Amino acid sequence: MWRPDIIKQLEAIVGKDSVLTEKEDLATYAYDGTTTWSHRPDVVVLPVTTLQISSILKLANEKRIPVTPRGSGTNISGGSIPICGGIVLCTTKMNRVLEINRANLTATVEPGVVLQDLNNLLAKENLFYPPDPQSFLSCTVGGTVAENSGGPLCIKYGVTKQYVLGMEVVLPDGYIIKIGGSTVKNRTGYDLLHLFTGSEGTLGIVTKITLRLIPKPAAKRTIFAIFDDMTAAGAVVSKILANGIVPAKIEFVDNFVIRRIEEKMQIGLPVDANTMLLIDVDGSLAAVESEAKQILDLLNEGGAKIARLAKDDAESMMYWKARSAGFAAIYSAARTVIAEDVTVPRDRLSDFIKKLDEISKKSGFEIVLIGHAGDGNIHPSVFTDSREKEDLERLDQTLTEIFEAALELGGTLSGEHGIGLEKKRLLAKALDPRAIDIMRNIKGILDPNNIMNPNKIWENS
């Protein structure tokens, strides 16, 4: 058994049943949503209170034991892989919704609350929490805060950081700090709240979160469009936004994904379609009807083969369920699938699509596309059935070319998945070295012993 003295101390903190050491249990926490990373922890701990987490971190800090925070492990950047072993601290048992304040339009939750469970509760109050990563059925709110998650609704409503008002965090030395609050406006010193939002578990463990809510929109319509040319579809997206229309969602998938979804769901998608766009407009009934008509006109002018409104809520839900199944369709298509996450300025979307086609032809790897066209966030997925070293090295080079193409167009390495292990080798290409030094220094102040999720985000951390 790994360090029996540490195991006994952890059991004293959380109870024997909440400390996992069996080989089969450890294997469960060795991976996340990526296909290329895996490493077993030495022990898994499942606390239920902030004080328990504080005691765990005090012990880990004193003994210099690596701690990897984890929610449900749906992230796809390697962020919750315990690459240095040690403790996986899993917060899924901390799953209480502590308050829904309708008058203040806020909700306070523990980090292990599943996003869809929160959404179901809010729907009963006619309230709405917009951030909607496509793992919403199982991802935890704490994980979405750690990753600053996005999703289809981000084009209109923004990402997680726009909705985090306050949090309670346990720092690496066990100190419990409260930052932010429950007010929409809070201009008090440096913005520590957003420092922790998106920090990928490298600065502390969030144990309580106060979220901003909005009233549920009165009306919504879904538009379905088919194009023979993906570049033309990208150009229409830019034209919709240039005309001052900001839909709630603009999503697209390519022919490969359309065919795979239709194979699995058999909902009547046109399998010969090159590109499918799904667009939601929401707001007041009058605004929705007006915007939907304008978008249909622009789609037809831009060369859509088909452009029409979903006939009812059931058809709309069917289309969005198909879109949510996109990643599942991709991941089951090859032995090794690298589902990436890059963002370009929205007016460069067509240029990026052309670049990806060139990279695919040059490399010989099939690259399929799915993503949030409305905010320029594309998920190119690269397939290989080989685990030969030469092929995997060529795969790395192809991925590098994808990232470099995005950066050349003024884009970023990640729109919503984070850096984690997947992209840390490329961070120096995307950020000024001084910026990386500043981040290292912040990490050093908060976590001088480097126990919190070490070896993530940048090289040699």
- In order of their start, the domains of the chain are 1-216 (3.30.465.10), 219-328 (3.30.70.2190), 334-417 (3.30.70.2740)
Higher pLDDT, 2 or 306: 306
Please give the distance of CA 140 from its chain centroid, rounded to a whole number.
11
Q: Where are the beta strands (DSSP E) in 161-254?
A: 164-170, 176-180, 205-212, 214-215, 219-227, 249-254
| CA–CA separation, 343 and 373 (whole Å) | 10
Instruction: Tell me the pLDDT tens digit for each residue of 375-398.
Output: 889 889 898 877 777 777 888 899
Cβ atoms of 153 and 249 closer than 8 Å: yes
Residue 107 host element (H or E): strand 106-109
368: amino acid identity, one letter: V
The pLDDT value given to residue 2: 86
Instruction: Tell me the pLDDT tens digit for each residue of 115-152.
Output: 999 999 999 999 999 999 988 889 999 999 999 999 99
450: amino acid identity, one letter: N
Instruction: Tell me the pLDDT tens digit for each residue of 82-99.
Output: 999 999 999 999 999 999
Q: Which residues on neighbouring strands pair with residue 384, listed in sequence order?
A: 336
Stretch 263-283: mean pLDDT:
91
Q: What 3-state DSSP class applies to 435? A: helix
Q: pLDDT-based confidence at 459, cuts 50/70/90?
A: confident
Q: pLDDT-based confidence at 328, cuts 50/70/90?
A: confident
The pLDDT value given to residue 340: 86
| CA–CA separation, 53 and 59 (whole Å) | 10
| CA–CA separation, 302 and 238 (whole Å) | 11
Residue 374 host element (H or E): none
> What order of strands is seen across the sheet that includes strand 97-101?
97-101, 106-109, 205-212, 164-170, 176-180
Q: What letter does residue 72 receive in the DSSP assignment?
A: S
Cβ atoms of 363 and 401 closer than 8 Å: yes
Q: Residue 461: pLDDT above 70? A: no
Q: Residue 268: pLDDT above 90? A: no
Instruction: Tell me the pLDDT tens digit for each residue of 179-222.
Output: 999 999 998 999 999 999 999 999 999 999 999 999 999 999 99
The pLDDT value given to residue 324: 83
- In angstroms, how far is the first alpha carbon of the chain from the final one? 28
| CA–CA separation, 447 and 86 (whole Å) | 16
* φ, ψ (nearest 5 deg) of residue 427: -60, -40
